[in-house]
Each structure stands twice: as C-alpha cells, then as structure tokens.
Amino acid sequence: MKLINESAKEMLFGRIKSEKIKLKEYPYFYAKIMYRKGSLLKKEDYERLLKTDSPYEIADYLKKKTYAQAINTLSATVPKNILIEAAMKYNTARECNEFIKYSVNYRGLNILLSALFKNYYLSNVKYFALGKINSMSFDEIKPYLIPFGNMTYESFYSYYTRPTETDFFNSLKIDKKTKKLLIGVFKEKKLVDLQNILDMYYYINLSESFYRISNKQEVLADYLNVIIGSKNIMNILKLKRENVEKEKIVGIIIPNKVSRIQGVLRKLVNAKDLDECFSILSATKWQRKDVDIIKKAVDAKDIELLECLLEKIKITRAKKIFGVRNISAEVVIGYLAQKDIERRNILAIANGKKYGLEEEEIRKHLVI
C-alpha cells in the first residue's frame, strides 16, 4: 500500500541513505543506563512536587535529584520564572551529548541515537526564527536553546547577531532541500509552516534510520509506531477541528514505512468532521491495553485528553523495551524515552503552579 504523503520525502531529502546497519550488544551502556534508570523520578516524587506551592520550591526539590548541576549553573543568569524550563533544556543537552559521545565507536547505535536526538537540535531552529521575527535579544531566547551537535551557545550567538540569517540555516546539519524550504518560510515569517517542516524532517529521518536496522526488535518497532502514529492522529484531529481542507491535512501526515495504521489514517483524513473521526477511533481494533487507556478520551471526544493518554501509551511501550536483552540498544532507547517523559511531567507541574492551576487539573497532564 502506498504511504500517505510519501512525496514529503522527495520535498525534504535528496538521497536518503539505505545501506543496512546492525545493532550489537553494548555492556558498557547497560551499566550506565541501569545507574541512570535508578535516578528517574518515582510516583512519590511527583506527589511531592504536586504539593509544592511554587516553581521555586520545585527547583529546590529537583536540586536533590539529577538536575542540581543544571539549576545551579543557570540560576545566576536565567529569570526565575523560566528557570525550570531552561534547566530541563540544559539537562537534555548534557545527557544527549554524553550518549552521542559514548556511542561514537558503535556505528549502528550512533546513527539511531543521532536520529532520535535530532528533534532537540531542530528545536533551536524554531527559537532562532521566533526570536528574529519578533526582534528578541539573544538573552531572551538563550534559556530555550539546547546546545547540541555543532550548535553551541557561542556559535548560536555568532549566527544570531549577524546581519543575514541565511548563514545560520546553511550551517545546519540537515539536507540541502530542507534548508532551502526553511529559508523560504522564514523570509515569509510563516512560523507554523517552519515548525511543520521541522517536524516532518525529524520524523521521516527517524523512520528511515530505523528502517535501515537489519536486526530490529519488535518492541522497538512498536515504540516507533506509537511515536509517529500518535503524532499523525493528533495532527489530523486538530486540523479537522479547525475545518482544514483534506489536501492540507494530507500534507502534514508523516510517511512511515513500518506504519501499521495506514488504513486508520486514511479513514480519519476522509472523515467529514471531528465526530466521525472519534467514531473511527472508537471502532478501531487497538491492542487491548491501549483501548483501556484511550477509551475515556474517545468516548468524551476530548482531543486534549486523548493527546495526554497517547503519551501514556508511549511510556508503556518505553517500559516494555526494558524487557528485551539487557545489553541491547533497546534498553538505551527505553531509558531515554522515560527520561523525556519525566522532563515533560516536571514542566507540566511547574507551569501548572505558575499559572495557579488546581492539583487535579495538573494531574490530567501527567504521564506516570
């Protein structure tokens, strides 16, 4: 079956690498992962954070965990109201760069990790464009940056203060076709289109990198499908809510070679309205545990709740990855997925406290 929006690859990429790669066993990584896994926040930690009165109290608590270096480093220069978000970015950058450094001698793992971490690299492009279009200073956007790959604070500052923005886009370690598209939408100040291009590039690159693995595990394929599948479903539902025409909806669907829900996506695209979309989701044969998780949101036709519950499915898949061989690459991916969700939970609590939300309202957005 032909993939929906398969032409997106031709728009964003020149020649996509197709040679196969093989994942091996990584005992050195296993020791590091098990040490880090033990430091992940537990349910009682989240309960403690929910009882705090402000983001500042949250920051104090996180200093006792693995975020001490990030908070201490940034607290002198970053405004307190965005300190936690900046600390999450800093912590992400430090950890991702460490894993890339560790994997440099393991080609297969390095390729897969580089593809997974690419979204952190690409998020800087969004903030560069946002800052430039809104005439913001470098200090205003710096807390939102993630130093990664060839993009350090110093290099970012150098590009940000130059009179021409094309130097920055041309420096990016991405395909030339994508650079050209990004420059075009940036000049037209189309931030939404720019974000869509970045998302499409990230997910296609991730899917293609995974497809190259000759000895991939089923649980890893399952996790990738949840990542891309949930993104596609949510994009379709949100655009259907805004009555966006079918052709534009098709244009934002991420093509995925190992997708198992092409039929569902086609039905959602062709649905006449949002109500029909939820009827399609309700009738879809999901894995049994997934049905139990998303049923409440589908029955209530609640897009925001569904988005949160799909995140819960992601974490169940991430935990399942730990069930494969202990020294496999999958264990690395499983840990990183759980760490990413931990950071999102912390931000959800911090933002909820900042805006005075009730505890029960904040809980709705947590994935535990």
With both helix axes pointing from N to C terminus, report the angle between 107-133 and 329-354 in degrees, rounded to the nearest 10. Answer: 20
**pLDDT for the residue numbered 77:** 84
Taking the alpha carbons of 40, 94, 172, 214 in that order, is the dihedral positive or negative? negative
The two tokens of residue 281 are 């989701």
The two tokens of residue 71 are 């908070």
**pLDDT for the residue numbered 199:** 94
pTM value is 0.88
AA letter at 94 = R
The CATH number covering residue 284 comes to 1.20.1690
What is the C-alpha separation between 86 and 147, in angstroms, rounded? 12
**pLDDT for the residue numbered 129:** 96
Residue 340 CB neighbour total at 10 angstroms = 19
Tens digits of pLDDT across the chain (368 residues) = 567 888 888 889 887 777 788 777 777 777 788 888 889 999 999 999 999 988 889 999 999 998 999 999 888 888 888 899 889 888 888 888 888 888 888 888 888 889 988 998 999 999 999 999 999 999 999 988 988 888 889 999 999 999 899 999 999 999 999 999 999 999 999 999 999 999 999 999 998 888 888 766 677 778 888 889 999 999 999 999 999 999 999 999 999 877 888 889 999 999 999 999 999 998 887 665 676 778 888 888 889 888 888 888 887 777 776 555 554 667 777 788 888 889 889 999 998 988 888 998 898 888 87
**pLDDT for the residue numbered 132:** 96
**pLDDT for the residue numbered 46:** 95
Position 311 in a domain: yes
The count of residues in the chain is: 368
β-pair partners for 151: 148
Position 273 in a domain: yes
For the stretch 255-301, pLDDT in tens is: 987 788 888 999 999 999 999 999 999 888 766 567 677 888 888 88
Position 265 in a domain: yes
What is the C-alpha separation between 329 and 26, in angstroms, rounded? 7
Cβ proximity of 146 and 123 under 8 Å? yes
Domain that includes residue 258, residue range: 220-320
Position 149 in a domain: no
Q: Quote the number of domains for the chain.
A: 1
Position 203 in a domain: no
